[in-house]
Structure formats: C-alpha cells, structure tokens
Amino acid sequence: MLRDAVKAGIMYDQSLDADIRSLRSTILFGLKGISAYGHQARFINYNSNLVDNFYFLGLEATTNDALTVEDLIKITMRTGEMSVEVMKTLDDANTTTYSHPSPQKVNVNIKKGPFIIISGHDLRDLEMLLEQTEGKGINIYTHGEMLPAHGYPSLNKYKHLVGNFGTAWQNQQKEFDNIPGCILMTTNCLMKPRDTYKDRIFTTNVVGWDGVRHVNLKEDGTKDFSEIINKSLELGGYKEDVEEKEILVGFGHNSTLSRAGAIVEAVKEGKLRHFFLIGGCDGAKPGRNYYTEFAEKIPQDCVILTLACGKYRFNNLDFGTVAGLPRLLDIGQCNDAYSAVKIATTLADAFETDVNSLPLTIVLSWYEQKAVADLLALLSLGIKDMYIGPSLPAFLSPNVLQYLVDIFNITPISTADEDLRNSLKQVN
C-alpha cells in the first residue's frame, strides 16, 4: 500500500497546487463522513435527495482542473451544509423510528450470564438483535458509539439491554481479549481481531475482516443473528455479577431543550457561567489526555456537553450537578453534532443573540472522516473560535489553515489550563 500510494495517493501529482490538493482532500474526507451518516439513515429508509445529488457534485469537484481555490472553498462550505443536512436526516430517522432519547442511567459493569456486545452506530442492527435474543437469557451490552442507544425508548424497553461494555474503539483488542461472549461490529471502528477472540467476533453491514464471520442482509431487509446467538450461549458468559456502576446518557436536543427555560434562568442569575462542548473522535495517539484534564479542570458552575467516542476520556467521572442540571450531558453519537447545533441555536434565540455570542466553547478531538464532516458542518453555520487537536489534519496546507484561522479563528489546542483560561475570559 505504501508503494502504491506514491503512484496513486493524493501526493502523486507533484505539479498540483498544494492548496488545490488540500481543498480536494478536505472535500473528499467530508464526503466520506457524509456518506457514512447517509448509509445509517438509508438503513432505516430515510434519505435526503439534496445529499444524494451532492455526492456527484462533490466528487466531480475533486477532479475538475478548471476549479480555482476560491471555487473549491465554496464547495468545501457546501460540503459542510450537506453534512448538516445528512445529520438532520439521520436525526429524523432515529428519533422517528425509536422516539426521542431521554436521560437514562447505564450500568458499565458486567452481569452474570451469556452475552453479546454490539458496537458501531446502527440502531436498526441493535433492534433486530434485541428482538431475536429476547427471552433467551442473553445479556446485550452496547460498546463504543452504540452507548447512546440506551436513551432511545424503543430500545431501552428491552430488559436484557443491560449496560455498556468497555470504553472507546481503540481499546477493543485489550478489552475483547479472551472474553466468554460474542461481539457484533455493525459499522466502522473495527481493529484487527486478535486470535484470542477471532472465533467470537462477527461483522455486518459494510464492516468486515478476513476470516471473520459476516451477517448479511436478507432480501426482506432483516438479518439472521442465530449463529452469534448460539455461539454466545455456548460460551456461557460471566459467572458472577460485578457491582453496578452507572453513567448518564440521553441528553439529545429534545431532552435538553425541554429544560431551556431553566437553563436560561440559571445563566441570567449567574448560577451557570459557561458551556463547554467537548466532543469528536478518540484515538490512541499521545496528547489525548488533554481532553480528560480539560474536563476535570472546568469550574463547578459550568456545564459540559459531549458527543462521539471522545467522551470516553471522562464520561466515567462524577461531575455532579449545577443549577439542578447534571454537569455532564451526553448528547449522543458523532452524528448528534446536529443535536449540539440545535441546542446552541435555540439557546441563542432565547438570549436574543447568535451562537458565537453564547457563553460556549467548542473543543474538538480530531481523528477521521466523520470528524471532518462534523467540523465542516460547524464552519458552514459560521461557528467560530473552536479548538481542535491533538494535532491538525495532515491534508490542510498552510494557506488553507491560515484561511480557517483568519475567517473562523480556529485554534490548535495548547494546554488545558491556557485554553480554559482563554475560554472563560469572554464571560469575566
């Protein structure tokens, strides 16, 4: 792959202008994130014609030599608009099909008995698995980005959805090692399975690995999970319960905005000083402990909103409450950046201002194409003063980065203390 990259990778054409290459790559990575969200929505029969048409326009822009840097900047912003559109479509799909999330406590320790861990993003896979395991004595645990599923009433009603297993995707090889149960990977975030659990991990949808059993979609739109069910019963599961430890999920836009009046009043009375949105993709690269340290140092009169797998850096900590609200509000999956935007814009309306004038700081952790789609969505809405890290995307040329700094005041993270101090200056 490394040899072929020289001939076919984004750097193969050395004569191509660096800024053109940078913007083409940004558009392409954004399209990948958008198509991942679009695939999730389409799986439960929702789509946007606007987004479907844009795939062609966006891809064409990445090969059209007649387009200037200015042209590609416009298309990059349009990619952000389509990211907002596809996240709205997916939000409509999930909340219409499974009802709006509500706050729920989720056990993060193991229970006695056979079990299946389901990871990824696709709620329809979880629903089918819950239906097919009901009454069979099998515990179902979410993993990774599937954690927010506990907030949806149509899924939470299943009593054998007993909790969440493990932490973020990059820890799976260690956490899945020799476990006495099965794993179902529904979308991306699969790492090379170790031999110690390769016989008990299954894939479905667009994710797969050589030598790993795959569950296919049948013509009627359903899946047969009997093989993984039988394997989990054969393995037998855990022998004893571990004392429960609970975390809170389910603070989507509908649930959070039902408290909008109390939030606005708390801000006006000085009880609630600032909001921090700490979200994005996680990874194993050094420097990501910044997000844990940042969250821990946020003052007690502030609220933390979080989404995507970056929350596993701190979502097991007890942040307490402020003005009658939990200080940590888990909004959901990476695509629930739409929820965060909806919360922010509604609060801005309540304060008769704009999002950039709210006592709000956005701190993003960077990793893969969905993070690109999320960032472009926020930029297309004109949101400024965001911090991103732990390192900048490799495909941003110096000029494109400078454009983002000049127009949107994007700032690379520094230290938790310095960034926190600068964030709170606007409200002092």
**Is there a binding annotation on residue 182?**
no
Q: Which amino acid is at 89?
A: T
**Is there a binding annotation on residue 121?**
yes
**Is there a binding annotation on residue 302?**
no
Tokens of 74: 């416009």
**Is there a binding annotation on residue 281?**
yes
User: By C-alpha distance, which of 355, 428, 417 is closest to 386?
Assistant: 355
Neighbours of 301 (CB within 10 A): 14
> What's the CA dihedral at 157, 44, 115, 105 to 10 degrees?
-40
Measured between alpha carbons, how far is 378 from 280 in angstroms, rounded to an integer? 12
Measured between alpha carbons, how far is 408 from 386 in angstroms, rounded to an integer? 8
**Is there a binding annotation on residue 309?**
yes
Task: Render the burial of 153-167: b for 16+ CB within 10 Å, e for the rest.
Answer: eebbebebbbbbbbb
**Is there a binding annotation on residue 145?**
yes
The CA distances from residue 283 to 57, 71, 77, 165, 332, in Å, are: 31, 33, 26, 18, 18
Cβ-proximal residues to 128 (8 Å cutoff; 6+ apart), any chain: 222, 223, 225
Contact criterion met (CB below 8 Å) for 162 and 108: no
- Residues of the binding site: 121, 145, 189, 281, 309, 334, 368, 370
- Residues of the binding site for hybrid [4Fe-2O-2S] cluster: 121, 145, 189, 281, 309, 334, 368, 370
